[in-house]
Amino acid sequence: MIGRFDRIRIRLAAEGKTQNKGNKSLASSNSRGIRASILFFFTFLFLSSSPVQNAEKPEVIDQVVFLYYSNFEEAVKFYESVMDFKQIEQTVPLKWVSIYRATGNSFVGIVDETKGTLKAAREKPVMLSWVSNDVNAWYQYLKGKGVSIIRAPKTNQETGIRAMLVKDPGGYMLEFFRWIK
């Protein structure tokens, strides 16, 4: 165990304020690696005993995925009329964001790109997936609503799911699947 005075002595040595037996300063150009190693060691020692790293993980109580749209009204209509999601009451009502309950503590937030943090992008590298016991019923329901079907229900033994894919009005991929394994 390194004592308090040893740490002070090492810090002073790293700063070149002490000398070794050969009367050559540790601050010389040849000792830069030693100083860097000592600094790294103490930084690591400090961070590894930091109370932040030893803190308990806080609880996550809800989850919201925010999607950004150039046509906000069309997206709102889709999630309210087609998906039949209910808008939740917001603490601070905003006319440019709507949050819908998808399931229990899972929500989808629809954001007008002109006011939100992000802008709607042409490419949508996001897929919302919902687990359902009846993928075929979702297929019939969404097809009847005129939703763009990307892939009809299909069983994939490798992934262990039966799934279908559609796109919402903003181009986001929506997946409905059930576990088969």
User: Per the structure, how many domains does the chain have?
Assistant: 3
Q: Is the pLDDT of residue 46 over 70?
A: no
| Residue 143 and residue 174 in one domain | yes
Give the mean model confidence (pLDDT) for residues 56-85: 93
DSSP reduced 3-state for 50 = coil
* Predicted confidence band of residue 36 (pLDDT cuts 50, 70, 90): very low
Provide the domain limits for residue 92.
59-120
The predicted pLDDT at position 92 comes to 79
Domain-ending residue, one of 72, 94, 120: 120
The model's pTM is: 0.64
| Residue 174 and residue 156 in one domain | yes
Report which of residues 169 and 7 the model is more confident about: 169
User: What HEC string does 98-124 produce?
Assistant: EEEEEECCEEEEEEECCCCCCCCCCCC
